Chain A
């Protein structure tokens, strides 16, 4: 029996009420796909920035290095194993030496992490070429958030104090050779970058480093080749970013759950009304030879088909809207203040998975919400129904 055909006829026969429900559902469709695309774009952009600016193709950490423990940072250094030295020499990796230090700038005292990095490296997006020594002070690069918190501008000088490998305090003047525009907090907030050779010299840690950033796509040495240096792959390094995105997803999920709930409420209401207002119609159908199960199917399908109409509507107005959204992006100025490494504009990413997944979710929810009131039909007495009464 063409239940689908009958359900579709009934649905379209509902006129304006049908189209209003379908329109509201289509708005949920577009919003969910838009939000999902935005989060996908946000996650991709965040990972892209973090990988390009700091994580590279993964990092080797000296055994004592723990990025969450600043107290042990001064003990986290060592000579590079041969394999890593070779990678560094071949331009497939860049060593970074990290030490605790204090910066005296514009009458402020700031605890910072001093990073030494090879001036000629091209593996991460830090303009290290600007670290060229001009003779009068140590050239340094800071990020724009750091510049803001320290009150420093390009060309400014500040006093840097550190402890060398023997525990002796030493100090020197640095000048800000460049302020990099970055949204990646881990290379910006509380970070000062100077040339590696200078760093090794002033800390008396020749040929030593804290971590080694590998180039994307390079084959890292395995097992004993890396000595007691531990390889942290991109998945490990991106854990915090991904956790942060998961919490963003959940917050976003709450928003579109509200939209979906409103749309579902409309369909549920329509179904309840249908059960009570079309009771005589159901009685007639039963008299004409339809079974109660078929009737439940027809009315459930009728409700569920709202989602197909909604998908059609969403396609008509949502496609140009989302294409436009995809082109102009979504302005996210100052998001880095919330700890998210993002550009000023987020470009959403709409994958088939997002679209199909959203369609399946909405269809399943609509079918379920449509089915709930239809369960009453099973208890329907045909003779009562013909008189317009529900038992």
Chain B
């Protein structure tokens, strides 16, 4: 059993929709430990992405508590939240979200540029290693528009893990990919999880992802309906 890195207690996230209040997350309590390969599973609107956003300090809970890597998300200043995201958390998005005017190398280097202590040679070496992990060392100079969807997602993975974060949050990472590319992506992430002991939390309803998960948390209407570990 690894160290607990995320503690979520009685988490509620509600949105005001006109005169009605919508609870995207309703009294969620969960713990995550180091090295997990976990999925938040559920249909659209079940609260998967909202939970990932709160864990990733991109959103704040309405009530309850979310402690991530020793920091209480609800008490973080915007700057502290930015530092947490920059140093400790990697994000992978469904639509890749690569920066279109940057090369592949520059996209991967971007989070490292926000860490002033890293010098150019160090950054270069880290980017090179990340490109090798995802098998795109020969495409460093390409632009995102020159790559296929699968390759773009591999770049997004490289960008997420280049700074060797303790936690990677992947929001529907295979939703825009075909079966072969999805399998490749999952293989890469499993390898990184094994070799770097990085914690991966997915939000997904894709069976191709679900079959690789070691822990499956089912959400429905903002509540945890089951939590199974294999």
Contacts and interface: CB of A to CB of B under 8 A. Distances in A.
Contact of B110 (A12, A288, A383): A288
A1 B116 CA distance: 6
A111 B56 CA distance: 91
A287 B82 CA distance: 8
Contact of A289 (B86, B97, B101, B102): B86
Given A289-B87, A382-B58, A284 B97 contact: yes
Given A2-B113, A289-B85, A9 B106 contact: yes
A288 B102 contact: no
B113 A386 contact: no
Given A383-B59, A386-B58, A288 B91 contact: yes
B113 A286 contact: no
A235 B171 CA distance: 75
Contacts of A99: none
A126 to B, nearest CB: 68
Nearest to A382: B58
A14 interface: yes
Nearest to A287: B91
A6 interface: yes
Contacts of A383: 53, 58-59
Contacts of B78: 291-292
B113 A6 contact: yes
A199 to B, nearest CB: 80
Contacts of A281: 97, 99-100
A167 interface: no
Contact of B86 (A5, A10, A288): A288
Contacts of B95: 280
Contact of B85 (A1, A12, A288): A288
Contact of A288 (B53, B114, B116): B114
A353 interface: no
A199 B56 CA distance: 98
A383 B60 CA distance: 10
Nearest to A11: B101
B85 A287 contact: yes
Contact of B111 (A14, A280, A289, A291): A289
B97 A386 contact: yes
Interface residues of A, number: 24
Contacts of B100: 13, 281
Given A289-B82, A289-B83, A290-B114, A14 B59 contact: no
Contacts of B116: 1
B59 A382 contact: yes
Contact of A1 (B59, B91, B97, B113): B113
Interface in B52-107: 53, 56, 58-59, 78-79, 82-83, 85-87, 91, 93, 95, 97, 99-102, 106
Contacts of B87: 289
A323 to B, nearest CB: 36
A287 B102 contact: no
Interface in A1-59: 1-2, 5-6, 9-10, 12-14
A2 B86 CA distance: 15
A291 B101 contact: no
Given A284-B93, A288-B91, A382-B58, A10 B101 contact: yes
Interface in A248-295: 280-281, 283-292
B151 to A, nearest CB: 18
Interface in B112-143: 113-114, 116
A12 B82 CA distance: 26
B102 A13 contact: yes
A164 B93 CA distance: 101
Given A1-B113, A290-B82, A14 B101 contact: yes
A176 to B, nearest CB: 75
A289 B59 contact: no
A287 B97 CA distance: 10
B197 to A, nearest CB: 21
A9 B114 contact: no
Nearest to A288: B111
B23 to A, nearest CB: 16
A10 B106 CA distance: 12
Contact of A13 (B53, B97, B101): B101
Interface string A358-388: 0000000000000000000000001100100
A286 B97 CA distance: 12
A281 B83 CA distance: 18
A386 B156 CA distance: 14
Contact of A287 (B58, B101, B113): B58
B56 A289 contact: no
Contacts of A288: 85-86, 91, 110-111, 114, 159
Contacts of B113: 1-2, 5-6
Interface of A: 1-2, 5-6, 9-10, 12-14, 280-281, 283-292, 382-383, 386
Give me the 10 closest cross-chain CB pairs, A-B, nearest first. Answer: A13-B101, A289-B86, A284-B97, A382-B58, A289-B85, A291-B82, A287-B91, A288-B111, A383-B53, A289-B114
18 contacts: A1-B113, A2-B113, A5-B113, A14-B101, A280-B97, A281-B97, A281-B100, A284-B97, A285-B110, A287-B56, A287-B97, A288-B86, A288-B110, A289-B85, A289-B86, A291-B78, A382-B59, A383-B58
Given A280-B97, A281-B97, 20 more contacts: A6-B113, A9-B102, A9-B106, A12-B101, A14-B101, A284-B93, A286-B85, A287-B56, A287-B58, A287-B93, A287-B97, A288-B110, A289-B82, A290-B114, A291-B79, A291-B82, A382-B58, A382-B59, A386-B93, A386-B97
